Amino acid sequence: MRTQNIQLTLSRLTDHDATKTSLQPSGYRGLYAFHKYWGKKPFEPVRYLIQNTSSERGLVVDPFLGSGVSAIEALQLRRRFIGVDVNPLAIRLARLLVSLPSVDIIEEAFAKVASSVKDKILESYITTRKEPATHYLWRDDVMEMVWLTDREKKRRVELPPNEHDLALSRHFAAYQPQRLREPIFFANSRINSSPSLTLKDIFTGRALHNIELLLAAIDNLPQCMQEPMRLSLTAAAGQMSKMVFAITGRGKIAGARSGRIEVGSWVIGYWRPELHFEVNVWNCFEHRVQKLIKAAAESGTSNVLAREGELSTVCAGHADYVLLARDCLDVLPQIPDRSIDLLITDPPHSDRIPYLELSEIWNVILGEEPLFELEIVVSNARERAKTLYKYNQAMSRFLEISASKLSDNGLLVLFFNARTKESWKFLNSFVSNANRADIIYCGCFPLIYSAASVIQDNREGALRTDYGLVFARTADLAYSLAHIPGWMSALPMPGE
């Protein structure tokens, strides 16, 4: 008996260590590093949950798909998959990542774009040294520095702007977009947006001119080559904007802060810092395409040839996946009851990230017009009327529908974090009324992040980490997850 207890203990320790190792995130890489979609979760816990709580050809559903992490992992593990998101960018990005063209196709597409517009774009940054500038440092509307690369010495050259540089900038200053629609912005102080915000506020005229050159070249490509180039352009757009911070005073040298200026990146919101960079559009685009090429090459061995179908054919097992740019409250009722093996999702966390508002410049580039009224979120933009009360109502409805769709052995895993108890109200209500839905709350576990993966909500009252909240028809179904480090049976509470 003693020997059996020791063996059981050792077995559980081994399971715990293996679980901890498989959940440990390493930061975004490969396909997950391609696009800066907001609020991406590390793929390791998503893969672990899919692998350990569903079977091959089982049905996995993500009603708030986001950047497509769950889609990639589910299809690589040979599960059927349904992904839904109201954000058109999210669906198009996920579709690209789960059905990547070959490296040869992406390289050929890039070569055609380069042949068409590279020289024109670089000419707009040409300096008197006959080399194109890589960066311009601006203080508000005053150009302070021009950076270029000395190809012979392979080093950066920093020069004050001359009349040629200033005249070249003025030449494009009045450029008005011809292909891009007017963006829709709301008065949201949290992300520094207002209805009067325009593309000209966010991009220089030169950047807009060059973005539209790229779009024209992409439109002339064969159909199969267009989407990887368009999504590469959206992925690079933030670095093409006026929102690129100039980082100063980082670190210390001999007791003094460094005077070196470094290039930052677009952060959450539409903040246009006083000291910022204008970055060469072609270089931004090329860098992002090369990331996609590298990711496509690395994922070649794990890429699964999955068949895209309709909602009905995936549910019937005749297709592998479907991705829908729709409202999940409209789609979920169409899935047969008791058919989902794993519903895993990371919904908007109350007022943490207004996804559609932040994705607007990407959707403008894609020519998409999102239905802002369908987004389940709390927004600081009062004209949207996205209140906490309406959010809790919608999330309660989401959980009620989801509960009826779980198979007898199915699990619902909800990644969540919020800074106020009111933001968790729908969960408390659902847990209290779970018996009506024939489902119970089993417990939760904290998500572990790498420094390079997720920026956490550090506002007052926010939990220190997101939690994976687990629901099932019986507690026994979640037993295998109880080995996850930090597992607890109570609901985590913000503000405590």
- pLDDT tens, residue by residue, 350-365: 888 899 999 999 999 9
- What's the average model confidence in pLDDT over 88-110? 96
Looking at residue 256, what is its pLDDT?
52
Position 431 pLDDT exceeds 60: yes
Q: Which among 262, 282, 275 has a CA at the least distance from the CA of 158? A: 262
Task: Give the number of C-alpha atoms closer than 13 A to the C-alpha of residue 43, restricted to the C-beta side.
Answer: 18
**Binning pLDDT at 50, 70 and 90, where does residue 151 land?**
confident
- Quick: pLDDT tens for 254-287: 555 556 889 998 888 999 999 999 999 999 999 9
Average pLDDT, the chain: 88
pLDDT of residue 2: 33
DSSP character for 2? H
Helix ranges, 221-260 (H): 223-237
Interval 159-188 mean pLDDT = 96
CA contacts within 13 A on the Cβ side of 84? 25
Of the two residues 44 and 61, the one the predictor is more confident about is: 61
Q: What per-residue confidence (pLDDT) applies to 8?
A: 34
Q: Is the pLDDT of residue 318 over 50?
A: yes
The pLDDT of residue 475 is: 85
Q: Report the distance separating Cα 346 and Cα 409, nearest Å.
A: 21
**C-beta neighbour count of 173 within 10 angstroms:** 12
- Residues of the chain with pLDDT > 70, as a percent, come to 88
Q: Which CATH architecture has domain 16-100+299-483?
A: 3-Layer(aba) Sandwich (3.40)
b/e string for 379-406 if b means 16 or more Cβ within 10 A? bbbeebebebeebbebbbebbbbbbbbb
Read off the pLDDT of each residue in 122-139 and give the average, rounded to a whole number: 96
CA angle 206, 210, 214 (to 5 degrees): 170
Choose between 386 and 433: higher pLDDT: 386
User: Who has greater pLDDT, 2 or 324?
Assistant: 324
Q: Is the pLDDT confidence value at 216 over 70?
A: yes
What are the residue boundaries of the structural domains of the chain, listed by start?
A: 16-100+299-483, 103-280
Residue 460 pLDDT greater than 70, yes or no = no
Q: Report which DSSP code applies to 78.
A: T
Residue 243 has pLDDT above 50, yes or no: yes
Average pLDDT value for residue range 382-392 = 95
What radius of gyration do the chain's Cα atoms show?
Answer: 24
CA distances from 405 to 330, 344, 401, 437 (A): 14, 13, 7, 10
If one compares 43 and 29, the residue with the highest pLDDT of the two is: 43
